Amino acid sequence: MNHCRVCKQLIAEPNDVCRACFTRLPVVRVCSAVGPCLTGYRLLRWNAATATLVFENGGSVVCERERRGAVHLDACPGCQDHPHSHYREGYLD
């Protein structure tokens, strides 16, 4: 049994965050060099040097924010939901 890192309730699955808290966390976009920005992450903590991201299937990762725009909250032209996106129809190889 684990505790949710947000609400501190007991959760049965081996995740860091319960399902209810995961859906309330803001979506984070991670820049990708080969296609659209990745959006399967949620933001747990954000400071000047790092961002702690959680995954839908459990687990978390700490990303360094040294490169400007590598981890971002607002849509950029590399995100599929940006009005002037390079990937409006998805990633086509």
Per-residue pLDDT averaged across 50-79, rounded? 80
Q: Which two tokens stand for residue 90?
A: 């998805």
Check: pTM over 0.75? Answer yes or no. Answer: no
- Strands 71-72 and 27-30, sheet pairing: antiparallel
pLDDT at 69 over 70: no
Q: What is the pLDDT of residue 93?
A: 46
Q: What percent of the chain has pLDDT over 90?
A: 0
Residue 2 confidence class, pLDDT cut points 50, 70, 90: confident
Set out the domains of the chain in order of their start, with CATH numbers.
18-93 (2.30.30)
